[in-house]
Structures are given as C-alpha cells and as structure tokens.
C-alpha cells in the first residue's frame, strides 16, 4: 500500500498525539512480520517517552531517548489512533498504550511490515537514496545516476537506493504526466525529460499528501479514514480505459513483477 504519501499522512496524523507521551503498555499479538518483531520489545519500550516522530523513505521513526523504533507498513499496513480500548480485529497485530489514554494500533493483513527497535544507525536505512521532497532531488540527479543503465526507467525511479518513497502508483502517474514510456531504458531518457519527471514526481506526491493518500483497499489514516487520491489517478488501475489525455485505450505491461499502465500514444 503505502508509498510516501500514505506514510506521511500517517505520520502527520499521529505526531501530535504521541510526541511527549509515555508508553505504558505494549501488546504484541503477532510477531511474525517481514522480520520478527524485535524480541523483548515490550520491555524495551515500556515506560519510555516518545521524543519525536519522523519519516525516512517509507519508514516511520519513533524516536526515544536511547534508540529508535522503526515501523514500516509494507503493502497492507496501517496505524490507527484509538481514544479508548476496542476489541481487536483480525490482523490487529500490535498495540501501544500511552499515559494520555490514547492507543496506537497496527493492522496489517499481509504482514509485510516491520516493527524493529534499534539503538544504532540501522542497516535498512543505510543505502537509501534521496528524499524526493528535498532539494537534493532533481532531474540532474536522476540523469547523472541513470547514465549507461539499461533497466526500465520505471524500475529506476522505484529503486529506493536512487530516490525513496516512489512506489508503483506514483511512479506510473509521474511517468504518464511526463510523457515517458515506463519501459524506456533509464539511460536513454534525456536530461530535459528527467527534469520534467522529477518535477512531476514531486508534484504527484505533494498532491497525494494533500488528499490523504490513495486507498485501494487497506489504507486508512490514523483516524481510520481512507485517502481520496485514487479519484485523481490517471493511469494506475485504468488499463483498457481511455487515456485522459488522448482518449485511446491505456496499455498494460509488467516491469519487474509490477503491473505498469501507460498510454502508448502519449508516452514515448
């Protein structure tokens, strides 16, 4: 599910409620996520105060005095704030309770997410590329890193070592807006077109954040509400339907195991 806009939507919804709060309860009902939940996490977190909540790539970083709790939402994860106890539903795996009375509940049907405690710089964060909403991200940056590379430009911009936060939905949308075929070799996209692509990646991510992200089936924000960006999607999920630009039927192909919808007329 969650690409950068959904993770950022979650972060913004939670930040004010958890920052400064003390963790008074930790319930782990399922420890088999992408990796096992850090053993002993209950004891590690109990009694600690959350100093801040930040985001790096698609990871949420709950900052504590002596380390960081890394949370990833995988494909189907969500975090919800509850103002009172409620029955656990299927796939509600973890719940943190705070001294304020608020609870933070992690729900993840596919269990591709992660809950990891680390007191050191974590290897999972070591090789991440630039943040697309920071100034270091630019068309020139993409152009330079892509020279001589033969993989599809869509796979290139979805590579978290290059630029983070861009997943299948927003890569598809940004390439459409930029008029670039998703299967074009990354090394055969001009500097000018990378400038457009970088601008469109930034724009589509910002627009999606404004609408609370995209909800296909699982995603809900911290208040349990879906996002609304799906109504703005131009290509993702629209294979066979008319292109919103030229009216011809949108095509579909697979790139790196991911379905890729595009307009063969508007994208070259």
Partner DNA sequence: ACACTAACCTGCAAGC
Partner DNA sequence: TGCTTGCAGGTTAGTG
Residues that bind DNA (CB under 7 A): 1-3, 6, 32, 34, 57-58, 72, 74-76, 90-91, 109-112, 124, 149-152, 155, 158, 160, 167-169, 213-219, 227, 236, 256-259
Active site residue 3: yes
How many whole angstroms separate alpha carbon 26 and alpha carbon 18?
14
User: Which is closer to DNA, CB of 32 or CB of 231?
Assistant: 32
Q: Which is nearer to DNA, 56 or 196 (CB)?
A: 56
Cβ nearer to DNA, comparing 65 with 147: 147
Say which residue the tokens 């709060």 belong to. 21
- Catalytic position from the list 2, 5, 132, 182: 2
Taking CA atoms, 197 is separated from 122, 136, 157, 172, 186, in Å, by 30, 15, 10, 11, 12
The torsion region of residue 77 among left (phi > 0), alpha (psi -120 to 50) and beta comes to beta
Catalytic, 105? Answer: no
Residue closer to DNA (CB basis): 139 or 227: 227
Nearest to 254 by CA among 244, 243, 239: 239
Active site residue 258: yes
Examine the residue annotation and report whether 154 is marked as an active-site residue of this protein.
Answer: no
Beta carbon of residue 107, minimum distance to DNA (angstroms, whole number): 11
Pick from 155, 220, 214, 251: nearest CA to 5: 214
Active-site pick, 5, 8, 55, 58: 58
Among candidate residues 138, 257, 155, the one with its CA nearest the CA of residue 198: 138
Given the residues 56, 149, 244, 258, the one annotated as active site: 258
- Catalytic hit among 3, 8, 95, 234: 3
Catalytic machinery residues: 2-3, 58, 258
């Amino acid at each position: 599910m969650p690409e950068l806009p959904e993770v950022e939507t979650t972060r913004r919804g939670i930040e004010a409620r958890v920052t400064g709060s003390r963790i008074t309860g930790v319930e782990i009902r399922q420890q088999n996520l992408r990796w096992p939940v850090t053993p002993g996490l209950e004891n590690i977190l109990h009694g600690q105060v959350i100093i801040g909540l930040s985001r790096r790539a698609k990871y949420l970083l709950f900052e504590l005095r002596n380390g960081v709790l890394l949370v990833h939402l995988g494909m189907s994860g969500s975090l919800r704030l509850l103002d009172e106890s409620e029955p656990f539903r299927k796939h509600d795996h973890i719940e943190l309770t705070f001294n304020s009375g608020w609870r933070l509940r992690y729900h993840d049907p596919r269990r591709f997410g992660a809950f990891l405690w680390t007191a050191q710089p974590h290897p999972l964060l070591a090789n991440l590329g630039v943040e697309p909403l920071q100034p270091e991200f630019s068309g020139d940056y993409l152009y330079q890193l892509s020279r001589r590379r033969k993989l599809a430009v869509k796979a290139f911009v979805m590579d978290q070592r290059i630029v983070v936060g861009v997943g299948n939905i927003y890569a598809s949308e940004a390439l459409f807006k930029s008029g670039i075929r998703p299967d074009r070799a990354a090394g055969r996209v001009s500097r000018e077109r990378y400038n457009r692509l970088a601008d469109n990646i930034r724009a589509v991510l910002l627009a999606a954040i404004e609408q609370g992200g995209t909800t296909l089936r699982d995603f809900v924000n911290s208040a349990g509400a879906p996002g609304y960006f799906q109504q703005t999607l131009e290509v993702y999920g629209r294979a066979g339907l008319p292109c919103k630009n030229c009216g011809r039927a949108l095509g579909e192909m697979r790139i790196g195991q991911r379905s890729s919808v595009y307009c063969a007329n508007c994208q070259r």
